[in-house]
């Protein structure tokens, strides 16, 4: 192994860089480029991520013109000698790749990539750093210099290679955090649009999350208008009356109130600290008195029995046959028998068609729901 070209001052700068990146408060990629420039005077930089097809995506840069980025995205990525589509597996073999690893500088000057692209920003020399984690390409740094500043030196390459492992690891962590953040945002957007109230509790009944409809329904449950945290009030004052005995994540607990049904579904998930941990998903389902009155009117028209009416009401709240059987203390076979009789009386062939015909679903396109 050859003698290091780096000085004590260089190692101090490397430690400074690692500390700055580790403690950075802003976007990781922008912080990285700023610190590479400020600490090591590599002033012309690009940073690409890698998409699912293994191509460059989401580029950012430092001291690179917006026009150059636009030209790159529209066409010149195809001419980039360091692009994965042009380098293939060779990109996975080295931490730093110079122009002269691929061709002579004279050959490079004749390329479309240099003549019609880099030259517009007075850039000449380039070093590529393919960022790999667990043998997978996750990003790439481009370091550029104008011709008058001179080529990169062996010491420059050693500095970049010394930074490589930390840059790659921090990029992987950044991508993981970003993915989690995006998934959480998607989750929040989904539950905010649910037509039912939803509350998530941990096993100590602490509130983890809730959607906006849950807050509205909780205000209604409390018969109050001005409560700053109605979900908390319901959890503290109503839920203590509910038994959370079930530990089976396939079962559910139901609690009936005058105008609402609360459905509690335990969810058992792995925990690094405790092995497993139980969370509770609470669904607050509002009953519809108007529609139930309509159903009672239809009872006489279609000759529905009291038991069949109970099943229809539970069906309208989204309960499965198994859940209906549990609530009515009958077998699932008996539920299916009642359902077949309801189908026959209403002359329909699906659960959705029952809800449509009895006024729970307002939909004029019912021809596909009717029994042929």
State yes or no: pLDDT of 292 exceeds 60.
Answer: no
The C-alpha R_g of the chain, in whole angstroms, comes to: 32
Question: Per mean pLDDT, which of 52-61, 122-131, 324-333 is the most reliable?
Answer: 122-131
CA distance 261 to 120: 67
- Coil, strand or helix at 335: helix
Q: 247 falls in which pLDDT band (50, 70, 90)?
A: very low
pLDDT digits (tens, 9 = 90+) for 57-88: 889 999 999 999 999 999 999 999 999 888 87
Residue 32 confidence (pLDDT) above 80:
yes
Mean pLDDT, range 301-310, rounded to an integer: 84
3-state secondary structure of 194: coil
Predicted local confidence at residue 361, as pLDDT: 60
Higher pLDDT among residues 187 and 131, named by residue: 131
Instruction: Tell which CATH architecture fits domain 289-357.
Output: Orthogonal Bundle (1.10)
CB 333 within 8 A of CB 339: no
Q: 195-286 maps to which CATH number? A: 3.30.450
**Who has greater pLDDT, 362 or 349?**
349
Query: Whole-angstrom Cα distance, residue 213 to residue 165?
Result: 47
Band of pLDDT at residue 130, cut at 50, 70 and 90: very high
Residue 149, pLDDT > 80, answer yes
Fold of 8-185: Beta-Lactamase (3.30.450)
Q: Are 122 and 144 in contact (CB under 8 A)?
A: no
pLDDT of residue 369: 37
**What separation in angstroms does the CA of 261 have from each of 81, 198, 289, 342?**
63, 12, 13, 23
Share of the chain above pLDDT 90, in %: 43
Q: Per-residue DSSP letters for 14-75?
A: HHHHHHHHHT--S-HHHHHHHHHHHHH---EEEEEEE-TTS-EEEEEEES--HHHHHHHHHT
DSSP track, 243-312: ------TT--EEEE-SSEEEEEEEEEEEETTTEEEEEEEEEEEE--HHHHHHHHHHHHHHT--HHHHHHH
Paired residues of 193 in beta bridges: none
Question: How far apart (Å, rounded) are the C-alpha atoms in residues 167 and 261?
Answer: 52
Checking if the pLDDT of 367 tops 70, the result is no
Say which residue, 361 or 37, is predicted with more confidence. Answer: 37
The pTM score is 0.59
Contacts of 96 (CB under 8 A, 6+ apart): 127, 128, 129, 157, 160, 161, 164
Query: What CA–CA distance (Å, rounded) separates 238 from 240?
Result: 6
Task: Locate CATH 1.10.10.10 in the chain.
Answer: 289-357
Residues of the chain with CATH 3.30.450.80: 8-185
Residue 244: pLDDT band (50, 70, 90) is: low
Position of tokens 């080529």?
Answer: 151
Q: What is the mean pLDDT of residues 98-110?
A: 95
State pLDDT tens for residues 107-121: 999 999 999 999 999
């Amino acid at each position: 192994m050859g003698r290091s070209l780096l000085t004590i001052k260089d190692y101090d700068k490397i430690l400074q860089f690692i500390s700055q990146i580790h403690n950075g408060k802003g976007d990781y990629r922008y912080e990285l480029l700023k610190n590479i420039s400020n600490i090591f005077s590599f002033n012309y930089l690009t940073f690409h991520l890698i998409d699912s097809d293994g191509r460059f995506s989401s580029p950012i840069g430092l001291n690179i013109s917006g026009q150059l980025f636009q030209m790159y995205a529209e066409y010149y990525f195809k001419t980039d000698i360091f692009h994965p589509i042009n380098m293939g597996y060779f990109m996975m073999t080295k931490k730093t790749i110079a122009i002269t690893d691929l061709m002579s500088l004279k050959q490079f000057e004749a390329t479309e990539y240099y003549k019609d692209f880099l030259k517009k920003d007075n850039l000449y020399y380039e070093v590529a750093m393919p960022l790999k984690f667990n043998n997978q390409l996750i990003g790439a740094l481009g370091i550029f210099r104008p011709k008058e500043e001179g080529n990169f030196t062996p010491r420059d390459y050693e500095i970049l290679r010394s930074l490589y492992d930390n840059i790659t690891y921090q990029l992987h962590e950044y991508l993981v955090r970003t993915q989690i953040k995006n998934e959480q945002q998607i989750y929040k957007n989904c539950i905010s649009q649910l037509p039912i109230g939803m509350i998530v509790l941990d096993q100590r009944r602490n509130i983890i999350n809730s959607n906006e409809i849950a807050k509205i329904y909780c205000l209604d449950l409390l018969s109050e208008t001005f409560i700053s945290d109605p979900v908390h009030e319901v959890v503290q004052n109503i839920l203590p009356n509910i038994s959370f005995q079930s530990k089976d994540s396939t079962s559910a607990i139901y609690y009936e109130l005058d105008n609402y049904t609360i459905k509690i579904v335990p969810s058992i998930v792995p925990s690094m600290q405790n092995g497993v941990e139980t969370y509770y998903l609470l669904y607050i389902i509002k009953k519809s008195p108007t529609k139930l009155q309509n159903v009672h009117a239809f009872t006489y028209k279609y000759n529905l029995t009291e038991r069949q009416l109970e099943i229809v009401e539970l069906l309208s709240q989204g309960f499965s046959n198994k859940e209906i059987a549990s609530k009515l203390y009958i077998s699932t076979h008996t539920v299916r028998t009642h359902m077949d009789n309801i189908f026959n009386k209403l002359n329909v062939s699906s659960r959705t068609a029952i809800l449509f015909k009895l006024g729970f679903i307002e939909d004029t396109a019912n021809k596909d729901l009717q029994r042929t």
